[in-house]
Structure formats: C-alpha cells, structure tokens
C-alpha cells in the first residue's frame, strides 16, 4: 500500500528552507488563489505535482524512471520502493483536472511575472506600453512508448514529432504560452485553433505580433486589426502579389538608420493597406519586412523583427535546458501539461533571479560581453545577432540564460537558501564564465 507520509517527508526534504523551496514560493502563493472545484488527486496534491514537475524540468530529466530513482536516493530508508509510484505521476500528468489547474496557474503567474520582471522595451519609441509578442513553431520528439502513425501510414501524426507553437513575451523575454498538437498540420491552422481559445493571447488588444512568414495570412491579420487593433511584423514572402505601391516619407530619426525605403502597398489577398520596409542591417544584409502597423517608425519595426531572431535563444533554453525536447507522455493532455510545467519553471527561474539579484540577471555581464564581441565582427555573423547602434543604450538585455546559471538550480536545489548563497555562488555565474 502507498505510504503518503513518505511522500510528505520527501516534499519537506525538497522544499523546506532549500533553494528549490525558495524558487517554488511564488507558485505556492498562486496556488492559494487558484481553487479548483474538485481536488485533482488524493495521493499527489497539486503543489507536489507541480513541484516535482518543476524539479524535473530543472534537472533536465526526460525519463520518469530516472527522476523516481533520483528521489529514491534522497530517502535513505526507502530501500524497497520509491516514495512515489511512476503510474501515480504519469496518471497525474495525463489528467484533465490537473490541466485545468495548470492553465489557471499559468494565467495567474504570467500576469504576476509581467509586473515583476524588467520591461526590456520600455525605452523604445512609439510602443507606449503595447504588448509585444513573438510566435514561433518547433518540434518535440515523441515519448519512448509512442508509436507514430503519419498520414502516409493512414494516421494523423506529425512525421516531425509533436508540434509546439510557442508564444513569447518580448517585453519580459520569456515564453508564456504554448499550443501543442500531435497532428500533421500547418502553423497557420494551429494559430487559428489557438485563436479560438478563450484564454488565447491573440485576443489581447493592441498587441504587436512578430511572426515567421509561415503565418502570413493577410485576411487573418486584417480581421485582428479591425477588431482589436492588433498588428503584425514579418518577412515579405516571394509569392505574395502586390497590386500597387506608394512611397512613404522616412522621418529623420536615429532609429531609422539603415532604412532604405518605406512603401505603402496593396496586396491582392487583402482589402487593407500594408507597408513594405526595406532595411539594411549593420552587417550589410538587406531585408524586406512586411507589416500592417503604420504607427511605428520603420527602424523600430526592423529592430523588433531582429528581436524575434534573438528570441530563438529563449527557445533553446526552454526546449533543451528545460527538457521539453522529448515528450513525457503519449496523450495530448500529458503533452500540453508538460509544456505548461515548462512555462511555470521558466517564469519561476526568471522571477527568482530578479528577486535575489535585484533585476541584474537581465544584465548578464558575461553574456553581454560575448554579445559585444559578436557585434564587432558583424560581417561574419548571422543577421539575428546584429543590433543597430541606436539601440545599444536602450536595449542591454540578453535572451538566453546561460547553462552555468541553470546548473546552479540543477545542482544546488537542496542547499539551504540564503542571501549569502545567492551572493557568493549565483551572482559570480552572471559575471564571468567559470
């Protein structure tokens, strides 16, 4: 028979006055505000379920068996059986009741994080507090027990693996929502599905979206602009037909350095006006950017699209360092719950760094020095690393948490939490590479 006391003792070992417990403290406050109508589980509480999920992401543990074995070693008296059955946690991961709680926690924590983490775009002209978001798709490997059945084999499974459409808040530099799908479908179809959800971020008003060409669908974005004053920035597609063009004046402003032309265009697929901006990066690469936002300076449009490229480093953190690259379960609910646990983990880490180091993680010194070295050799770098000179004093942020900072949480999660520990062991990791 399952001994609940052993799980209780384990959770106390993991969270009582430890770094992990300090990391999870905001989550406990959010859970106290989220009250499900029905308790999700009798054995595994919501707090224990999420705490173990966050720990699994921090540890980068893709196999549940491996995590259970790690937990077994924390209890020297547990020689015959682990403190938690694998089936108990697997069933919790695939639970729709847990999914409802997770979605509520993500929404609460997203709103709280937006008010706590530093606003990276506060100094940029013309944005005036508007939400700025990027969306991008990636793939996730199926779990070891999954048997893929693609359309060629008579099924619906995606031959590349599960599709993850991630939504990034460019103001605070984190992924704060994800749509998951196991089927083989185009990203635009996924976006339309996501837009039907009542909690979809695409329902925000006045948002500036920075997106890949895969989701360039003029009627979709035209409707968004009419209803919610939502606009989009993307790359021009070669197969888009332009009926007419008209030159727009380019203001003499430092932000517009590198702008070659700003054209008002009319697309065959749209009844609304769009703009086509030709821009030369500091490294000499010429880009054609498409947008339906006429309120922003063309140089700011180019800068925001450049941030989308850079935010792919956030994808790398989220997918590889937080164990999202491989699915933990087979069911769509389990896959979605895993993604939400990864979002919670990311927000908790960023929140703790901002709290313990008073906002300084946004100025990760070693990463900024590396970034400056890249800037000095722009001709040999990819477009995404290039930043115009005017943005340097306005945007001194890095998108990716370095692995050595993440290793602190991975290796020191059981250490007694104290300001001295963070000052002597965590802060140096932000200042220089070991």
- CATH 3.30.2170, the chain: domain bounds: 124-313
Indicate the SS3 state at residue 103: helix
> How far is Cα 301 from Cα 264, in angstroms, rounded to an integer?
14
pLDDT band at 383 (very low <50, low <70, confident <90, very high): very low
Name the token pair of 132: 């700025």
Q: Quote the pTM value.
A: 0.90
pLDDT band at 368 (very low <50, low <70, confident <90, very high): low
Radius of gyration of the chain (CA): 23
Residue 364 has pLDDT above 80, yes or no: no
User: What CATH number was assigned to the domain covering residues 124-313?
Assistant: 3.30.2170
Question: Which runs of E-coded beta strand occur in 313-401?
Answer: none
Q: What is the pLDDT of residues 292-314, one digit of tens each?
A: 999 999 999 999 998 887 677 77
* pLDDT score for 380: 46
Residue 384 has pLDDT above 50, yes or no: no
* pLDDT score for 81: 67
Q: Considering all CA atoms of the chain, what is the largest pairwise distance in Å, rounded to the nearest integer?
A: 77
* pLDDT score for 358: 66
Question: Which runs of E-coded beta strand occur in 241-322?
Answer: 242-247, 259-267, 273-280, 286-291
């Amino acid at each position: 028979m399952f001994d609940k006391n052993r799980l209780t003792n384990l959770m106390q070992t993991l969270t009582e006055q430890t770094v992990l417990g300090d990391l999870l403290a905001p989550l406990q406050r959010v859970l106290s505000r989220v009250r499900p109508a029905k308790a999700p589980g009798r054995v595994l509480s919501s707090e224990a379920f999420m705490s173990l999920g966050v720990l699994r992401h921090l540890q980068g543990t893709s196999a549940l068996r491996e995590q259970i074995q790690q937990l077994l070693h924390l209890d020297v008296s547990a020689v015959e059986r682990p403190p938690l059955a694998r089936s108990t946690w697997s069933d919790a991961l695939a639970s729709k009741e847990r999914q409802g709680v997770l979605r509520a926690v993500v929404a609460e924590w997203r709103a709280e994080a937006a008010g706590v983490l530093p606003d990276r775009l506060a100094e940029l002209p013309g944005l005036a507090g508007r939400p700025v978001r990027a969306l991008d798709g990636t793939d996730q490997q199926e779990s070891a027990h999954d048997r893929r059945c693609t359309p060629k084999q008579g099924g619906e499974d995606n031959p590349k693996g599960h599709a993850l459409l991630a939504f990034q808040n460019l103001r605070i530099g984190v992924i704060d929502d994800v749509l998951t799908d196991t089927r083989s479908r185009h990203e635009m179809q996924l976006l339309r599905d996501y837009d039907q959800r009542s909690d979809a971020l695409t329902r925000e008003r006045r948002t500036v979206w920075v997106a890949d060409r895969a989701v360039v669908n003029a009627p979709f974005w035209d409707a968004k602009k009419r209803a919610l004053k939502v606009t989009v920035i993307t790359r021009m597609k070669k197969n888009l037909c332009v009926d007419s063009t008209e030159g727009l004046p380019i203001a003499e402003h430092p932000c517009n350095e590198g702008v070659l032309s700003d054209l008002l265009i009319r697309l065959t697929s749209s009844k609304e006006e769009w703009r086509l901006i030709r821009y030369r990066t500091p490294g000499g690469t010429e880009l054609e950017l498409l947008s339906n936002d006429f309120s922003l300076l063309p140089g700011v449009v180019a800068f925001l699209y450049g941030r989308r490229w850079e935010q792919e480093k956030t994808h790398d953190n989220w997918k590889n360092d937080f164990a999202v690259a491989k699915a933990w379960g087979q069911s769509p609910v389990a896959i979605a719950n895993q993604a939400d646990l990864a979002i919670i983990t990311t927000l908790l880490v960023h929140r703790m760094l901002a709290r313990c180091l008073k906002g300084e993680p946004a100025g990760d010194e070693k990463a900024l020095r590396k970034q400056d070295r890249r800037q000095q050799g722009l001709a040999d770098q990819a477009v995404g690393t290039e930043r115009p000179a005017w943005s340097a004093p306005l945007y001194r942020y890095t998108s990716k948490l370095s692995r050595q900072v993440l290793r602190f949480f991975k290796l020191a999660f059981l250490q007694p939490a104290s300001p001295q520990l963070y000052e002597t062991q965590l802060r140096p990791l932000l200042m220089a590479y070991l």
